[in-house]
A and B are shown apart, each in its own frame.
Chain A
Amino acid sequence: MRAFADLIERLVYTPQRNAKLRLIADYLAHTPNPDRGYALAALTGDLRFTHAKPAMVRELVAQRVTPELFALSYDYVGDLAETVSLIWPEKELDGGGPPGLAEVVETLTQAPRGAVPGLIEAWLDRLDANQRFALLKLITGGLRVGVSARLAKTAVARLGDRDPAEIEEVWHGLEPPYRGLFAWIDGQAGPPAVAETQRFRPMMLAHPLDDPAADGLDPGAFRAEWKWDGIRVQLAAGADGGDGGHLYSRTGDDISGAFPDVMAAAAFDAVLDGELLVVRDGVVAPFNDLQQRLNRKRVMPAMLTRHPAWLRLYDMLFDGAEDLRGLPFDARRQRLEDWHARVRPSRMDLSPQLDFADWDTLAALRAGARADQVEGLMLKRRDSAYVAGRPKGLWFKWKRGPLLIDAVLLYAQRGHGKRSSYYSDFTFGAWRDAAADAPALVPVGKAYFGFTDEELRQLDRWVRANTVDRFGPVRAVRPDLVLEVAFDSVHRSTRHKSGVAMRFPRIHRIRWDKPAAEADRLATLEAMIVESAKGPAATEP
């Protein structure tokens, strides 16, 4: 438990991805089975303890600590697990020593509900403050240490000098504490055997492109299709798997549970690549609608009716047991079309291919696609095999031009790691007519990239020289500097004071020359909101 607690502690405070990777890899290298396997499962979110609840932890601490003192402390610290871990009265250790991570996980998994409080209480008595924190975070769910499942798996790959794609492919067929995986990583056994539908095939990704003509690409060698604004998924459905198949996100997270409607339609044997969307009456809904469906463990029936999920297919990786990934794109597309015509699955259609003879035609199509539901165009070489990762020269994403507004810098916050001495996170606002004579700036977004290192130095200097107030790491600045902000789209939002939320805002230019009074108004931003239904219509083949 001590090593795991130390790891959690370091991860909580470490912002850099590479440093996190090293911390995790170092832990996995120096921790024996099965502890390291359970730690990995905790990081990837694959451990669940149904009987341990925060309310139970509160009851336990209420028996040990005076309520007044607990209340004062909780008020000061703010987090329940942390307060309890710090305030828990430390007894002289009874010689039992701290329990191991595996002991905790295995005991808790098998324990009946009634035995859980007693177990946790006894463990809390045997652990130090950091270990108590790790225990409480572990059992009440959600470590929240800024580590994605993807990152944890990458650390495993690094440990064994493997490609992360190899770990992803077998991951969903594995169970904690992953002895087979570690035997393979340690070079003591071959790769673990897993069922076909439980394999996630790492996806083929595209490079961004500004202008295909300028890059000298031959239009005759490429196919073009819309880049839909949903989330890219892989559907692995199989008659042999017996578990109804799996829906994986681009990073290999299993999101099947949140999309029972799509899974019910997956009664076939194939592995498909496509875009997950919310589609109503053949019309693609804005990304925000899809977002309502993401990150849910359970879906309410009303949600299924109001936000029906849809899969728009791009590619076919397996037809039955046949691996198509080595075939050229055109051949795979033909197989996909034939398969679709034959099987006619519900809730799925084909992403249409666009007719074009030259780049100008395509540029015109792209310019016309100002709708919310399309991010731009995808260009795929007709002869491209399906290659995991981001191979050069095969697939390109040609995003539509960004939207722009001129906003006024309001707050700046210090960054992390290399940027910890720079004010690098910028909150900006637009004018709102509060009263005719007193217009006010309302924050509309936050951006922390888009500028060069030299521009960052200039911005940092400006922030320090124009600070009017400080709140911890945040500085309020004189509303004098205009930033040209680029963003992909803007939506209505009830969570923001301004009522709008931008997607992917970034600093496009610093308008040192422009007076703040001439910056854009909130109304300008509101006019850019695309409500719905103006995107290219779905095509029923």
Chain B
Amino acid sequence: MPETPITDWLEVRPQGLFVRPGGFFIDPVTAVDRAVVTHGHADHARPGHAHVLATPETLAIMRHRFAGDPAGAQALAYGQRLRVGDATVWLAPAGHVLGSAQVVVEHAGGRAVVSGDYKRRADPTCVPFEPVTAELFVTEATFALPVFRHPPVAGEIARLLRSLSLFAERAHVIGVYALGKCQRLIAELRRAGYDRPIFLHGALEGLCRLYEAHGVVLGPLQPVTAVERRALAGQIVLAPPSALADRWSRRLPDPLTAAASGWMRVRQRARQRGVELPLVISDHADWDELLATLDAVAAPEVWVTHGREEALIFAAQARGIRARALSLVGREEAEDGG
């Protein structure tokens, strides 16, 4: 049992979660003096902090996105322990994207785990999630409704390849988030034996190169601009979701619009976005996995952040867990990342 309750030293401030004995924020939404960052997505990694602690991969991603920033960066590999003020900090893999981590903070005999975003499925592009038992667990709730149960990825990839053979004259343009989903989809296609070049929107090229530099094999990639329009018929083209409905997609021959996201589970959502081929591939835990994680972490207290908190709190309380919603600024539903 901790000597002091964790709620006495882990605070919710307007900028984000603040670890008082260590004097640092976790994933603060505005620039602060000291920040620990779970992963490189824009709603977690912000520019302008004076000091940043994160995995080497996350720091590389931040440097890529923020042109050199952060200046005062300190890399901490998974499992490596670091004394910060009166607290001990270490990072455990979160399985969300390359370099994603749960922040484990120990102080006064107690342990809190702030998981950031996480998933439990195998992902060829990042280290799998590692459950860490704790007294307090902070969890995401992006897909925290029992209707969200992600199907096996292999089946979704098979649907994509089947469509590619049935509509061989149409460019299959898939909306993917630039960090994580893009590279995971490519890696899954390679795993399924797809060895043709995959065409990229310009906004995706940099992070693919970064992944490759970290040893993730993505196979032949080409910018869309490198080939003639006709040559894209029957090819796979990846683009940020915002580009699908934009004028950019007009350069493609008779595009068939696909999207890879956990949101694609719900038909109305997919149709609203004009998606013809929804692929349910998510980088977040689904309902069953969220509950299994609560069991594995075995924390008597859980704070639930960004997403459908209500259902997860209900289910956690039914398991005898003290659960409450944690309203953090700047964590609105970011659907592109699903």
A residues sitting closer than 8 Å to B (CB atoms) are 6, 10, 12-15, 19, 22-23, 26, 65-66, 68-70, 72-73, 76-79, 82-83, 86-87, 90, 128-129, 414, 416-418, 420-421, 472-473
Closest to A75 in B: B145
Chain B residues, Cβ within 8 Å of A82: 266-268
Chain A residues, Cβ within 8 Å of B270: 13
Q: Is the interface of A mostly helix, strand, loop or mixed?
A: helix
The answer, among A23, A66, A90, A421, for a CB contact under 8 Å with B149, is A90
5 interchain pairs (CB within 8 A)? Answer: A13-B277, A72-B145, A414-B245, A421-B249, A472-B273
B: contact size bracket: 35 or more
B320 in contact (CB, < 8 A): no
Complex alpha-carbon distance, A68 and B268, angstroms: 22
Given contacts A69-B315, A73-B311, A82-B267, contact A22 B166 (CB under 8 A): yes
Closest to B276 in A: A13
Complex alpha-carbon distance, A72 and B310, angstroms: 8
Complex alpha-carbon distance, A481 and B247, angstroms: 22
The 5 A-B pairs of least Cβ separation, nearest first, read A86-B147, A73-B147, A13-B276, A87-B146, A421-B249
Chain B residues, Cβ within 8 Å of A76: 145, 147, 266, 308
Complex alpha-carbon distance, A83 and B271, angstroms: 16
Complex alpha-carbon distance, A10 and B250, angstroms: 23
Chain A residues, Cβ within 8 Å of B314: 66, 68-69, 72
The answer, among A15, A72, A79, A418, for a CB contact under 8 Å with B254, is A418
> Contact between B276 and A14 (Cβ–Cβ < 8 Å)?
yes
Complex alpha-carbon distance, A421 and B254, angstroms: 11
> Contact between B310 and A26 (Cβ–Cβ < 8 Å)?
no
Complex alpha-carbon distance, A87 and B248, angstroms: 37
> Contact between A12 and B147 (Cβ–Cβ < 8 Å)?
no
Given contacts A12-B271, A13-B270, contact A73 B146 (CB under 8 A): yes
Complex alpha-carbon distance, A416 and B315, angstroms: 40
The answer, among B244, B276, B311, for a CB contact under 8 Å with A72, is B311
Given contacts A73-B146, A76-B308, A86-B147, contact A473 B166 (CB under 8 A): no
> Contact between B250 and A87 (Cβ–Cβ < 8 Å)?
no
> Contact between B245 and A421 (Cβ–Cβ < 8 Å)?
yes
Chain A residues, Cβ within 8 Å of B248: 421
> Contact between B167 and A473 (Cβ–Cβ < 8 Å)?
no
> Contact between B245 and A77 (Cβ–Cβ < 8 Å)?
no
> Contact between B245 and A13 (Cβ–Cβ < 8 Å)?
no
Residues facing A in B187-214 (CB within 8 A) are none
> Contact between A15 and B276 (Cβ–Cβ < 8 Å)?
yes
> Contact between B146 and A416 (Cβ–Cβ < 8 Å)?
no
Chain A residues, Cβ within 8 Å of B151: 128-129
Chain B residues, Cβ within 8 Å of A6: 159
Complex alpha-carbon distance, A70 and B255, angstroms: 37
B47 in contact (CB, < 8 A): no
B51 in contact (CB, < 8 A): no
Q: Distance (Å) between the CB of A307 and the closest chain B CB? A: 35
Given contacts A69-B315, A473-B272, contact A420 B245 (CB under 8 A): yes
Chain B residues, Cβ within 8 Å of A129: 149, 151
Q: Distance (Å) between the CB of B76 and the closest chain A CB? A: 38
Complex alpha-carbon distance, A78 and B269, angstroms: 11
Q: Distance (Å) between the CB of B2 and the closest chain A CB? A: 32
> Contact between A69 and B274 (Cβ–Cβ < 8 Å)?
no
B104 in contact (CB, < 8 A): no
Closest to B163 in A: A10
> Contact between B146 and A69 (Cβ–Cβ < 8 Å)?
yes
B278 in contact (CB, < 8 A): yes
Q: A78-B268, A473-B274 are in contact. List 5 more A-B contacts (CB 8 A).
A: A12-B267, A13-B270, A26-B166, A68-B311, A76-B145
Complex alpha-carbon distance, A261 and B49, angstroms: 79
Chain A residues, Cβ within 8 Å of B245: 414, 420-421, 473
B261 in contact (CB, < 8 A): no
B238-256 to A contact mask, C-beta < 8 Å, 1/0: 0000001111111000110
Q: Distance (Å) between the CB of A128 and the closest chain B CB? A: 7
B257 in contact (CB, < 8 A): yes
Complex alpha-carbon distance, A420 and B255, angstroms: 9
Given contacts A19-B167, A79-B268, contact A73 B145 (CB under 8 A): yes
Chain A residues, Cβ within 8 Å of B275: 13
